[in-house]
Structure 1
Amino acid sequence: MSTLKTHDTQALDALTGGAFSAPTSGERAARVRDWLAAEPSAEQMQEVFRELSARDKGAARPLREKLDEIKRAKGQEAIAAEWAEKGRTLLSQPRLNIADAMAWQRDAAKAGAPLSREPLAGVKTQLADRVKGIEDLQNRVQVQREAAVLLAQRIEVLSTKSWKDAEAAAESLRADVPQWQAQAQALLEDSNWPSVEPRFPPLLEASRNQLQVVWDAFQSALAQASAAATNTEAPLPPVPVWADELRQARGLPAEAAPTKPARPKVDPEVRARANQVVAEALAKVEQEVAQGHGKASAGAANALRNALKEHGKLLDDKLEAQAHAALGTATELEGWQRWRADQLRQELVAKAEALFEPVAPATPPAAATENTAEAAQAEAQAVSPAAAPAAPVARKPRYGGRKMQETLRALREQWKQVDQGGPPNHALWKRFDEACNEAYKVVQEWLDKVKTEAAEHRAARLALIEEVKAWAAAHADAPQGDWKSFNRALHQFSDRWREAGHLSEKAFAELQPQWKEAIGHAAAPLEAAQKSSIERRNAMIEEAKVLGDAPMLRIDAVKSLQQRWQAEAQTVPLDRKQEQKLWDAFRKPIDDAFNRKTQEREKAAAAMSGRDRAVLDASRAVEEATASGDAQKIRAAMAALEQALKARDDADAAAAAAPAPAPSGDAVAAEATAEPAEGEAAAAPAAPAKPAKPVIAMRGDDRPGARRPETAAAGRGKFDARRPGPGGRDDRRGAGFRSDRDDRGGGFRGGEREDRGPRLGDTAFRAQRDALEHAQAALRKLAAQAHGEALTQLMTAWEQRSGEQVPSHQELGRVVTPQVRQAWVQALAKPGAGDASDLLLRLEIAADVPTPAEQIAARRQMQLLLLTKRHEPGPQETWGTDVAKVLATAYDAAAARRLQNALKNLLRR
């Protein structure tokens, strides 16, 4: 099986051009990309991905992306085929509803269909052309209706003029009316005519009938007028103006105007009711006109007209005149509203057309013209731009997808509001709609991109949910020891979910419960461990309360409990707020106990002795001297602090004056003193103790292999180590050594120790300790500065051969004796001569400082030479003399640097 797998890997490596055998991940990824550029089959890519992902996921990433792209493409092809079939079904219907066509595009985009690619792009274009054709047909119906009204008005106006003018204008009408009829018939024969809205066919039919009736009546009256003009016996035409003209031509008197018949008597109640109805309609018209409501005033005017038609015969003359005046005012307002609405529409059209801005063409450089002929042609076009063909002006959208969508929505809402305030204008609407549709292409592209990204984000989130489920199944039965890694993995899953991209509210509401279920199942082991950890921490909090309430605070128990808490906190992680809350509850009783202890200590420190106060004052004086930077003041303050530490106050001095118990063994007994009676003199001082036996130092032979001398036998006294102790055993400590302390704690009974005075308080002890540390650090710093200045001064003295400039003995330090300094001064008194190379090497060996690279071999040779001269003094012993010899030579900057580096270490010893 292993051999077969190796053979498959070799074959795949040969197939991919060495993607498996490449030494680094980057080379493997590069060879995979090169192989993908050759467009292999999906089966080959799947097989290579399966083998390569187990070895190198980074190199297999291009394969995974390519496979995901193929998978998405297949899914989109299926969706595209489905919606293409639906679109073709819509196109095949004889009657296409515009709403259905727009709903198809909207639903296809929601389903994630690739509308920008074939075959959906072609179906989308066909549907858009079909819808545009239907809308154009509906606009043409409205235009034809307006043209029919204009033709009827032309015919009606001719009835008010001479019949001869009408006869002259009849020729153009005989051409215009049939042409209109032909155009109307062409609309009926259009293939999109069955798809227009149901309200348009009746409008066109009514316009045809009305125009035909008016045209037939005009032709009949004109023919009758022509006959009456040639034959005086022929009847006059029914047109009053023409009849009067023909009557005058015959010499007949004009026909008297018919007298207005008297109004019949009407019941007063009926007349009052009619006046009330008309007055109410009149008041409504006047109110709407006063407020400037265009559509409302038009509706009120129509209501008033209907009331006049119904009750006009019963009205008073005054009320009838007011009604007609109000109707005239309403008509004027309607005209003004139309004008104002058209102005607003033109502004909206300008805004819609300004959604695209022209792009200035790039001016080609002069070097772009390759030959003289092309240059001449370009010059001719520049001189005569009218002769050159007009190039289409490139335009680009002013806004992005979302901003464009919001702008279009706002413009259409404004157009609707304008339509509500005035009559429609179809010509402006067509321009506005075309501009908005052109701008909507940007929105459509953006929506397609957003929907594609949303589909990818949804797929990524679903894959993440499956990954979390697989991870939870893999870690469900495994022993959970590292809970921090477990918690870190859960947080990483949560971060990936938050960063998985935007989804719509509906899609997010669908996936969020699945995610919560998966992540909750994955986090169940950690939640159980956290619950147990919280219980253990609560138990430790109770222990802390018990320790804090104890009269004596046990520091060891507190440290042990804190270590247990830290171990628990490092083992099982909790939420930050919850963990902080538990920690605060845990440390509160212990902090309270320590605070009580601190308060007690402060109370005890407040009642300090006179010695403590003196030590505190001396410590403050040391701190002030340290801040001044004066070495003399610092040493004086330190000496005063030492005196304060050795001093005793009155009470301590009285206690120190008490007699001490007599030591045992060979120790000299102290003189017994008794408290003198009142009025008696004090006893004589005790006799001085015998001086201790002097210690004689011995020097042994420290050569390698030498036999060390035996320790001289001690006297058979109290410290004889070989003398048996109590009980017959060897007491190695000696008979005079006792572990029993003096009752006062002042030392061993068997001997005397230095009297250090009573114990200091905590505040005074810490103050004197800190003051001494700071003072010593300051002195060391000042000493280093002084050494540096002294060395600089010494190098200057060497350069100028001036013995007077050699630093003083105090400035050089205690390691330089006066004899050595005098030798340095004498060396500078003579002119410089000689070589200082070997001397500098000896000084660098003595100071244990580095030697320049070019002198390392010479230094090693000198070290070997020094090893052969065992009885001669070494460089550490003769460095003062060596410095004098170096100063006797001529000054050299490099030699001065080496000498200064060596003296830095030597003067500090």
Structure 2
Amino acid sequence: MSDAPETHPAPAKTPEAHPLDALTGGAFSAATAGERASRIREWLTTQPAPEQLQEVFKELSGRDKGAARAVRERMDELRRAKNQEAIAAEWADKATALLSAAKLNIADALAWQRDAAKAGAPLSREPLSLLKVQLAERVKVIEDLQHRVQVQREAAVLLAQRIEVLSTKSWRDAQAALEILRADVQHWQDQAQALAGDDSWASVEARFPPLLDSSRTQLLVVWDAFQPAVAQAVAAAEDASAALPPVPVWADELRIARGVPAEAVVAERTARAPKAKVAPEVIAKAEHTVREALAKLEQETAQGHGKASAGAAAALRAVLKDHGKHLDAALEQQVHTALVAAGELEGWQRWSADQVREDLLAKAEALLQRPEGQALGGRKMQETLRQLREQWKQADQGGAPNHGLWKKFDEACNAAHKVVEAWIDKVRTEAAEHKAQRLALIEEVKAWAQTPAASADWKAVNRALHQFGDRWRAGGHVGEKIFAELQPLWKQAIAAAAAPFESAQKDSLARRHAMIDEANVLGAAPTLRIDAIKSLQQRWQAEAQSVPLERKHEQKLWDAFRKPIDEAFNRKSAEREKGAAALSERDRAVLDAAKALDAANATGDAQQIRAAMAALEAALRGQAQERAEAEAAAKNQSNQAVAPVDSAQAATEAGADSAAPATESGQDAPAQDQPAAAPKPTARPVVAVRGDDRPGMKKEAPAAPGRPGKPGDRRDARSGRDAGRPDARGSRDDARSGGRFGDRPAYEDRGPRLGDAAFRAQREAMEHAQQALKKLAAQAHGEALTHLLTAWEKRDAALLPSAQELGGRVTPAVRTAWTQALGKAPSGDIAQALLRLEIAAEVPTPADELSARRMLQLQLLTRRNDPAPAQTWGQDTATVLAGASDAASARRLQNALKALLRKQ
């Protein structure tokens, strides 16, 4: 039990209610920042007035910037909304003016949307969203008119080409196609008239009406010339006396039909249309140019390139305008045939539109024919069908509709849309299920809040509240409208369930603040009371385990609680470490020696490193000398103090002995000249003695010492009985004083303990020094081998390393044999000597020498009295050095000596 007085926490201060608490739902009296921010957010859902927002922000900005940020954001949002209303009204007026104008410029409509977005106008809200849609539709209508004008222009060109092609064929073909052409020309005129009569025709760009007018004029000119020519050809066929038509091909056909020979027809044509003489260079150039354009058109037509063939046909017509009058009849006929083929490939507008429709129909039918693993989902199918229908509308704008293809396309799209309908039903079903689950969760929270278990364990309550929140977030997707209905109900239910827990958190917060104040008092006290601190910490832990708080807030409170206690313990530790911080003289000496050894390691000189290591070891041995000197000084002081006492005791004992005879005899004792008796030694009491327990010996007598033997043997004559006993190996005092086996002490006297810094410094310095010496030794070993191989290669004994460089395994006699071998001319076979060296060094042998090595090993097994290769490697090396040097032998010798010279 501790004698410390019991400390009671200070009562929590009750803050006064703020005037704005009633307005904000108690936000200003909230205990934590998180709770204050939560109440501010709940208050903002009530849509307060701007004046109330300004007042709350003014009071709250000095207390809690985090909670005031939400109020400032709402104020900024209202300000932006007000500004956007003004901007929206301004841009709505501009859009209305554009729509009400008789002529709308597409650039102005597009610029309105761009400039409105730059100005920050809310284009996604009414009325700007509706005006934006109206402008987009108006622009789409105008662009559609312009596109139809281009289509009509191309249709007029194609009609003229058809008429031109018919003029090169038989007049009967022209007569058969007359009614179809009349219907197509009339349809073209009706479409052109519809374009000009559209309400948005005035908004079309200025370049499009002239294009339509010029196309109409050119088509009517060709058509007005074609109809009389066909009628005249029909009349000439019925009446032989009628005039021939102005078309040369038809006229020639009618002449032949009337019985005129073909040769006469050709001669008549030549005579009828005499050509002016042209220079041969001009004709050749014209034919070359036309043939190049013709070859390109025929190539594109043969490959089936519609767009490329149309471009090549246009280029050929442009060449014909300049050089067509210089061509002969055969080349001209070839050119017309190529143009007809190109026109048939490109086709009529109806044909190209049908091709597009057929592609769309194939795509629609392929939607349901996909493999099971590649089937489209509901949303993807919906987007694909929408795109296909939009593309069909664009195809209908470019040509006459095809009701048969449309019926098939619509049926395929309706069949594919069943997947979309199933997906929509599934989404609606899931949304209904998710709504029901969320409503059930709200009811579950309300029922849980009414149970007594909801306030028993606050940790369990907090865990349950978090679980409810996780379940609400994982409740599945619902529509925005449904979520807006469910969210207030959820907030109300979870707030009612969390109310007791929030009240308990307030009380816990007050108790923790009181314990923080108590910790400040204990930390500032001059004497550190450990029992009171432990009791306070236990109370804090009990409070933290009973009522959980927000993690960040709880960590801040814990830091504030432990700060004064940690500071008090740090002060105590600093005072304790003041004495240990100062280094002794011996530690300084060891540190200086370790630094000197580090400097020697950096030089890479082995002699300096060894000298520095010796200096460091001398500094370490100084501890034993210091202890010996201290013990000697203490012994001298004790001897000086004990000597006077012994002299006085001896004098007292001598006086008592001499006075006894004088008293007995009654005579003067000083007259007698008798020597004084020596004092008897006082017998020391025997505390414990080991008796001799052998048979026939007295147990009270001490045991006789045993005869000397090997270390660990028993001292008496019998074996095995006393083995392993402590007295059989000598006592610990014997070991410390020299032991039974020599004068060396068993335990080295190391002196006082080194400081941590000095110990670590000397240990690291020693390790670095040993590594440096090993590295230098390896380098010296490699250099010695290199010099040895160089001396063998050059046959120069002067290059042979010294015995010190070669190492302790090379004796002077062996080095002398190597020198003599290098001094002679190369002779002898070194193969067996190399094998013996590799066997002695236990290094691998080249693959081509493995059989020889095995044979040599078998021979060595039969020679029992011969020395092993490990004993004669010096002589074997001399044999190798006496032979000739080559790269392979030098490598084998180096590998063997590298291992042999390193063995210890």
Common fold: TM-score over 0.5: no
> What TM bracket, shorter-length normalisation?
0.3 to 0.5
TM-score by length of 2: 0.36
TM-score by length of 1: 0.35
Question: Which has the larger share of helix?
Answer: 2
